[in-house]
Structure 1
Amino acid sequence: MNAPFTNHLVLEGAQAEARLLEIASELKTGSTIPYLGPELAELAGAAAPTTPEALAAFFATKVALPKRAKGNVWACAQHIESMKHRSTVSTLMTEAFTPKVEPTPLHRYLAELGLPVIVDSWYDSAMRDALSSRSDWGEVQGITRAGIGEDRWFRFYDAKGVEAPKTQADSWRTLLYKPHGSVAPAKNYLISDADYVEVLTEIDIQTPIPDVVKSRRAERSFLFIGCRFHDQMLRTYARQITKRSTTTHHAIVTPELLTKNELKFLTVQGIIPLAVSLPRASEILIGA
């Protein structure tokens, strides 16, 4: 279990940058796992949505939504699924993420490190594309269980995007973990409230987390890059994915945007916020 802090602790200025330099060295040894959020895509000038709110706004341009759903991407997707069809949700998700998110220099740098695990919590394919020059990696994605008639929580794909047996994952030098799915290679999306009902029922006992992720996170820390925790769904996934790893993690944050719930979550989970802008943080991590 992660060790909570007794109060809110935000590192700023030179102190934050110095700590990030230390983490950069830990990335090189594989002792820190990068956990990428949607806001990293903003550095690429992406046309695809780069926040849950932006994705909700995209849905609102395509379908008339009730007031209660507006601004909440999971409720938007659930309304569309209920009023139209699941296939409509998948089609709209693919449309939203068809605009290519080019890998940023940080994506490409992380791809070169041969990390044991990279967690990517958004739906674009930038990290997969950055890894594409290598053949010694593979990917595991969360999948919706709605209507598939299978007792599975995730699917594995090799570097070519071909579905692979889970036993193959142990041989991959780098595992890319996409807990919410991705536009590539197979258009798997966890997005509606219904998608998450069974996941959230069992995620506390870790069933929806792949065994290879559980194994590779042990004795390692996490660095959250481009992530927010202002929604219970986001907090739940971050908490469960980091479970049974080390007791202290770090997150690159914009302090003035942090909500009370975010600060509380960071404190309780032992995640030290680093007040460094994403562009500057990328420079430090790449240049160290």
Structure 2
Amino acid sequence: MSAALDTFAKARTALRTIAELLKTGSAVPYLGPAVAQGAPGRRTPEALAAFLGTKVALPRRAKGNVWAAAQHIESYKHRNTVTALMNEAFAAPVPPAPLHSALAQLNLPLIVESWYDDAMRSALAGLDNWGEVQGITRAGIGEDRWFRFYNAAGEATCATQAAEWTTLLYRPHGGVTPARNYLISDADYVEVLTEIDIQTPIPEEVRHRRAGRSFLFLGCRFHDQMLRSYARQIMKRSTATHYALLPEGEITRNESRFLTEQGIIPVTLPFNDAISELLSCL
């Protein structure tokens, strides 16, 4: 009993620390799909892979792996088919969860959204002086670029304007809004991962804003090597201490090792309880 109380007490103390970091702009929220639990649409990579499998017959090696599934469709159908299916998968607007809304009101310098829906963008809508940068596929675009900037109205803009925004929303995998950019296939990530060690695919403005800040991973899983690689590179050259509120489910050995290696402290409360406690501290 005392051990459980001790764990709960430490978790609450950590959440109060996290809240103070957020309120002072000293933490970067890194949002995963579980933040919008219960919302319409595909809330995990596995669910998205299953959706793609209902639309196109997949070989065994691609079943359950969304990146391999998208690559199979791209290779044997067309990239346009992948985009159309992603548009369908994320057609239903995802209303902001209370956490999205709370984060939007904090005027944070940087928010990372690692899923494809529009919940965080919707939470920011109506506020002043923000915009976003999205990772883009290089498949067939004929451009030597890794990302695009968009203002609050969804209009394409440039890094110079982004430097003036109070809040920058970074969506490294793209998103359904405003322009239906998706990094989703194995080929998309092969290109990015060959360069990401030298940080080329990460916008300079993101690199500037992450410096000296902790990362707060919310609703993310790291059970896939690609997800770990992205998080590791995005949080480079930030502070040494970070926190994670993980969704329900057993942490894999690779996830546990990743958290330890990166100095990420998991908050040991059920996810929904941890979010509620965090919101009460903001």
How far apart in 2 are the matches of 1:254 and 1:157? 30
Where does residue 239 of structure 1 map in the other structure?
A: 232
Q: Is residue 182 of structure 1 aligned with residue 148 of structure 2?
A: no
Q: Cα–Cα, structure 1 residues 254 and 55, in superposed 2: closer, same or farther, change >3 Å?
A: closer
Q: Which amino acid aligns with 1:192?
A: S
1:221 to 214, 223, 246: 214
Where does residue 8 of structure 1 map in the other structure?
A: none
How far apart in 2 are the matches of 1:277 and 1:214? 32
Say if 2:220 and 2:247, in contact at 8 Å, map to a contact too: no
Say if 1:206 and 1:240, in contact at 8 Å, map to a contact too: yes
Where does residue 87 of structure 1 map in the other structure?
A: 80
Corresponding residue pairs, total: 276
Structure 1 residue runs of 5 or longer lacking an equivalent are 1-10
Runs of 4+ in 1 over 3 A off after TM superposition: none
Say which SS state the counterpart of residue 171 (structure 1) adopts.
Answer: coil
How far apart in 2 are the matches of 1:93 and 1:13? 40
How far apart in 1 are the matches of 2:152 and 2:70? 30
Where does residue 26 of structure 1 map in the other structure?
A: 21
Say if 2:134 and 2:172, in contact at 8 Å, map to a contact too: yes
Give the aligned CA root-mean-square deviation in angstroms.
1.1
How far apart in 1 are the matches of 2:149 and 2:26? 24
Where does residue 209 of structure 1 map in the other structure?
A: 202
Deviation string, structure 1 residues 49-84 (Cα, Å, up to 9, x no partner): 010000000001111000010000000000000010
Say which SS state the counterpart of residue 191 (structure 1) adopts.
Answer: coil
Structure 2 residue runs of 5 or longer lacking an equivalent are 1-5
Q: Cα–Cα, structure 1 residues 254 and 14, in superposed 2: closer, same or farther, change >3 Å?
A: farther
Deviation string, structure 1 residues 132-182 (Cα, Å, up to 9, x no partner): 011210000000011111011000000000001111001000000000000
Q: Which has the higher contact order (CA 8 A, sep 6+)?
A: 1
Q: TM-score, normalised by structure 2?
A: 0.96
* Identity of matched residues, %: 66
How far apart in 1 are the matches of 2:81 and 2:127? 34
> Shift of the alpha carbon at 1:254?
5.2
How far apart in 1 are the matches of 2:13 and 2:51? 39
Say if 2:222 and 2:255, in contact at 8 Å, map to a contact too: yes
Say if 2:41 and 2:89, in contact at 8 Å, map to a contact too: yes
Say if 2:147 and 2:203, in contact at 8 Å, map to a contact too: yes
Say which SS state the counterpart of residue 42 (structure 2) adopts.
Answer: coil
Where does residue 145 of structure 2 map in the other structure?
A: 152
How far apart in 2 are the matches of 1:256 and 1:281? 14
> Shift of the alpha carbon at 1:255?
7.4
